[in-house]
Amino acid sequence: MAPLYANSGKRNRGLLDREGKAGYFARPMSEKILLDTDIGSDIDDAVCLAYLLAQPRCQLLGITTVSGQVEERARLASALCRHAGQEIPVFPGAESPLLGPQRQPEAPQAQALERWPHQQHFPTGQAVEFLRQTIRANPGEVTLLAIGPLTNVALLLAADPEIPRLLKRLVLMCGVFALRRAPLVEWNAGCDPHAAAMVYRAPVAVHRSIGLDVTMQVQLETAQVRQRFRVGLLQPVLDFAEIWFGHSPAITFHDPLAATTLFDEGICSFAPGQVDIELSAERVAGLTHWTPKAQPAPHEVALRVDPERFFSHYFSVFS
């Protein structure tokens, strides 16, 4: 979809009209986004946040962190914001899932923090209220992008049942929808299945998921990452990634794929239907059951991706 433009109302002193005078210029309309993330485990969260900070159409209203060591995760997020020269509110959220064991107790990439300036202290116990107030202050305008376990989002919906109708859209990196050869529980859904079940019951106008079956199609090997991440805002991400490379030979762009679909509708194609979360069997708790063309069809899931278009779009914001 072609980008929309609006008059920013600000004078651009770098552009001159035909008479040599500074004039007004058109800027892309921004998207108001709240990011909920478990940055610090899989490297793709940092890759996603770097994209949002570099994306000129993104108005990042705030960041909340979720899952074990939420303050360390907040520090990692703040390090990227500092490197980007942006003051973004960051709030540590829920440490533990609503029910069940903690599957993600640590944020290993925090080992790199000593090399990057970052905020040290954060408000505690205010993440859900921050999300609630921000959404209420911008009714119908905010996209909540959740790329970690869904604990914070479930707590938000429980705290304020009107939030679903106040959101512009809810976009999740969550689930598996097209692969049916064997039961496969996606990490974010499996880390807090009860939270995922609550979130998928929320009546949001646009309730969209980008699942593992699609995100696995956008990967870069270590050598490619080291070559392409040497610039600007991707430099600290590359430093964090070296910790990730200790046990993985590649980066899969799970979360960045979800983020890019907010700005380029042609990267993924979506289908309507119904998503239900498995809770009855402990072995597969968090399994996503996808019913295409269900009536009603409250959810959209990504079924196809154009990898070349994704990578072109992603790296374009850093050039």
Where along the chain do its domains lie?
A: 30-316
Say if residue 282's pLDDT is above 90: no
Residue 24 binned pLDDT confidence (cut-offs 50, 70, 90): very low
Domain 30-316 carries which CATH code? 3.90.245.10
The token duo for 287 is 């399994």
The pLDDT value recorded for residue 280 is 86
Q: Output the average pLDDT for the chain.
A: 90
pLDDT at 189 exceeding the cut of 90: yes
Give the number of other CB atoms < 10 A from CB of residue 19: 6
75, β-bridge pairs: none
Can you say whether the dihedral through the CA atoms of 313, 1, 302, 144 is positive or negative? positive
pLDDT on residue 178: 81
Residue 15 has pLDDT above 70, yes or no: no
DSSP state letters, the chain? -PPPEEEEEEEEEEEE-TTS-EEEEEEEPPEEEEEEE-TTSSTHHHHHHHHHHH-TTEEEEEEEE-SSSHHHHHHHHHHHHHHTT----EEE--SS-SSS--S----GGGGGGGGS-------SS-HHHHHHHHHHHSTTTEEEEE-S-SHHHHHHHHH-TTHHHH-SEEEEE----S--SS----HHHHHSHHHHHHHHTS--SSEEEE-HHHHTT-EEEHHHHHHHT-STTHHHHHHHHHHHTTT-SEEE-HHHHHHHTTT-TTSEEEEEEEEEE--S-GGGTTPEEEEET-SS--EEEEEEE-HHHHHHHHHHTT-
Q: Which amino acid is at 243?
A: I
Residue at 117: amino acid letter: P
Pairing of strands 90-92, 58-65: parallel
pLDDT at position 181: 61
The answer, yes or no, to whether residue 22 has pLDDT greater than 60, is no
Q: What is the pLDDT of residue 319?
A: 82
Q: What is the pLDDT of residue 293?
A: 87
Band of residue 28 on the pLDDT scale cut at 50, 70, 90: low
- Tell me the pLDDT tens digit for each residue of 210-258: 999 999 999 999 999 999 999 889 999 999 999 999 999 999 999 999 9
Residue 16 pLDDT exceeds 80: no
Residue type, 61: L
pLDDT tens profile 293-316: 899 999 999 999 999 999 999 999
Q: What is the mean pLDDT of residues 173-181?
A: 84
Quote the pLDDT of residue 182.
60
